[in-house]
């Protein structure tokens, strides 16, 4: 039967994952951490002055937004009290 001959090569089980599947879990974990360290070395870290200015800008922005939301909430609560008594 020609169909049986065609299916014979496909019935072989192949390992999935390529080269990574051949390594053990500890080797893959070690490779993962080496790649993390390599990527962290590529990062351009801010100087202390840049970090201080960025942090100050974020804190000021958050305080302004808190004030804005507080004012809107205060105004809407008084408007609701006026409308609904």
CA atoms of 58 and 52, how far apart (whole Å) = 10
Residue 42 near residue 34 (C-beta atoms within 8 A): no
Residue range 34-85, pLDDT digits in tens: 999 999 999 999 999 999 999 999 999 999 999 999 999 999 999 999 999 8
- pTM of the entire structure? 0.53
Summarised one tens digit per residue, pLDDT across range 74-83 is 999 999 999 9
Q: Cα–Cα distance between 31 and 23 in angstroms, integer?
A: 10
Residue 23: CB atoms within 10 Å: 13
How is 2-70 classified by DSSP, letter by letter?
A: HHHHHHTGGGS---SSTHHHHS-HHHHHHHHHHHHHHHHHH--PPPHHHHHHHHHHHHHHHHHHHHHHH
Provide the residue ranges of all domains of the chain, joining segments of one domain with +. 46-84
């Amino acid at each position: 039967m020609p169909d049986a001959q065609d299916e014979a090569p496909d019935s072989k089980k192949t390992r999935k994952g390529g080269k990574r599947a051949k390594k053990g879990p500890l080797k893959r974990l070690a490779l993962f951490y080496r790649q993390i360290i390599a990527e962290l070395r590529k990062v351009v870290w801010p100087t202390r002055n840049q970090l201080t200015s960025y942090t100050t800008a974020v804190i000021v922005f958050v305080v302004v937004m808190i004030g804005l939301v507080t004012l809107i909430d205060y105004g809407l609560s008084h408007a609701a009290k006026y409308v609904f008594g």
